Structure 1
Amino acid sequence: MERIWFTFLLIFFVSGSRGSKDPIVVRLVERDSVILKCNGSATRGNKWLIDDRVIFANEISFDSLAGVSLSNNYSLSMSDVTFNHQGLYKCNRNYTHVVSYQVTTVVIPELILSFDQRTVGEPTRLYDYLVEDRSKALKIRCIAISSRPPASLTWVVNGEDVDASNVHNVLYKPNKERINTTDSESTLHLLPTGTHVNISCQFRGIELVSQNLTINFILFESSDESGTVVSSDECESPQYLQLGEKGTISCNYPGDLYGAVWFNSTNVTSNDRPFISLTEGRISGPGYKSREYLVHPNGSLIITNVSTKHNHVFRVTTLATIDEDPIYEDVHVVVYDKPQEPYPIIDATGCDQKSLCFLKLNAASSLSCNVLRVGEVLDDLSWKLRTNTGDEQISSQSKAVTTSVNELQSYYTVVNISLQTSLSLRLFVCAARSDVSDLGNTESTILVESGTLEASSEPLLVTPNERVVMNCGEDVSFFVWKQVGHTEEIIAFGTKSMSVVMTSEGFTLQNSSLVINTVKNLTLGTYTCVYSTDGVATKFTTTDVTFQDVIF
């Protein structure tokens, strides 16, 4: 455990009569630095002694004491002092005593608290723990490790000094690893009362130095009839946080709280330690130390970088004031991610991750649609048949899949499509329902044509380079344009809200009408528009585009 050092730079300017025999007491914390002054500036007849042993005569060193050297006006500079630097230092000039210093070094102990097999030891942090059983006395042991002189340990509970009758097992014993130091130990027995107990262990007895460790116990009763801990609805649940972003579990507690502690589980016992705590504006806990979490003064939890491990139910226990009972809330956090495409993906030939596509069905088949790795954010993913009177729910098989622990949930839905004998054009919709707006468009559509088309065409005589507009029909809901001959070539298709031109060279759409921008030999031929005006009945029109005869 890291040791906390308290460092002081002490410089003494000695006054008083020349030759005074009373030493000046200098108490240093180990690893400190100090300058011991010797009045006067003579260059000969000077000596520094420690315990009557010469260490400097004039400017010549007679003892290689580490960290000790001469400075201005024959002062003695000492740095990084240790136990070996203790002693009576004298400065003499021409056999006359000038000044003396009694130097002692102290060692600041490492202070730790332990209870229930837990150990804490960072004085800059405030530790919060829950206590379920009020009938059992708290037994907390405080140890000051490696101190010189031995540390005197005292206890403070809720700002008041503890009566000695509650303190047990006060021990002092030599430290085995560091010579000339002592370990001090004291155990506090305390029956907790109220809603919280603030306990501090302090060491004193070393001049200029004091230190304390504090634990805040929140008294918790989970399921009895006393009403000591109650649940509230200040934190909405579930809450949705985006993967890889900074996220906040928002709570609407009125004003700033006295305290709030967050747990990674709803099954909280006295052995469970919060990962982050807020007490009187001070934040502590391993989650705060790792910078993974922060707590807002109103108790809301801030996650600095949302990951899949945050995809679970959190519990927060709060104290509005020091006198009120604690309350708890469980918040289900759902981690989600934006899908790779901002719409459901239809797995069919020609769709190629488009939100609108066309399929010519030659045999009974099935259509599959998916939304991959977005998390538990979809209430439903299913197929529908769109008509002018609304979307008709059709039988489809849907499932949610998670392939690994660290992967977000994916959704799949499959519908069987029957083959129609007569000409049929239907608009199928893969629709996702979610409360998360970041998921983008909630549907993708596919036009499915099946059946045979047998009809005579109406001639349309054109001239070279002419712009030609071919009407599909009136009040068209959805359509597909194709050029027919030995084979069929899909030119364009669409709905009232979107459309796709497959062969962009020379063709454009004007609502549902097909436009040949410049008639050429390659654009001559038979064109058919298959369409529906109500989403149920299928209609078609066929046009034969040919050059008119030129009379000379």
Structure 2
Amino acid sequence: MLIIRAFFSFIIVSGTCWRCMCYSRIQELGSPRQKLDGLRHVRVFVPVAVKEGDNAVLMCFFDLNGDSLYSVKWYKGGREMYRYMPREVPSVKVFPITGLSDLFIEKTKSNGTHLFLKKVTINLSGRYSCEVSADAPSFRTALVSGDMNIVVVPSAFPEIKGMKARYKLGDTLEVQCVSKDSRPAANLTWSLNGRVLDSEYVKQANIKRDSEKGLETAVSTLTLSLHHHHFVGGRIKAKCTASIHNIYWQTTENSAGEEKPKDAEPSTSISKDALQPSNVPKEGQKKDDSANSRGHCCYCASHIFERLKASYVRVPFSLQLVCLYILRYNIIS
């Protein structure tokens, strides 16, 4: 079969090119090539954020595709700190890094794909790189990196400041939320009665840095003109949420009541002269006889009763009964 195909190629192509054509055809049919890609698909998984004092696990995965693994190395900021070589004894080696005395690698839990860090501190934030090297036949090397942040979470809940006990319609609600001593500064969001507020009502968080502690404090201000729909059941509930990456989330909620305007109340004060009829004897004048006194008493009770009604004063029922009783039976006091 090979001789026949070469013969036809010689007839079609003249000159020296027929040799190249015949050779290429023979290679394709007689000895097919074996494709060995070797080391590829190196990928690293570095946690984005880890709470200070917790353990951290860094992972590095790869496909050898026919190659043999020569070594896996981990770097912190370009300096080697860990090496795994399966053909050596011991296979795991740890290298100290100057200035990072708080870097502790658990050898028994680390291998060619996993790197176990114990009780990380804030100094260990930064870039970590995994370098994978293959042995024969490809001798390939690949380096992949990822960043890790060590987080110091606040020791207390966020605090809402400046909230009054009561607000009226049209008042301005202006309160602050403070989340102290963290790194990085907490992200602060506001909600009112369970609904997240738009950014137009929130002043962008102000970050205060403590150079001695190396920690940060976040401050956010909410300013909102209150309307009827802001009061649910006669109250408003303002909530502040502080969060850092996916490892810290705390909320604080304060509430205030609605102060309703007082209704206009009629004056309840009645002058002394208004309660005294005009024909009642004044001081120093001679009093009338008993008949006149009876008439004056009845007139007085009637006059007081009418004056109270005219003044829109709510007359107690007991007083009404007394006046009516006096008028009915002409009782002399």
TM-score normalized by the length of structure 2? 0.49
Larger RCO, structures 1/2 (Cα 8 Å, 6+ apart) = 2
For the pair shown, the structure with the greater C-alpha radius of gyration is: 2
* Higher strand content, 1 or 2: 1
TM-score normalized by the length of structure 1? 0.32
* Higher helix content, 1 or 2: 2
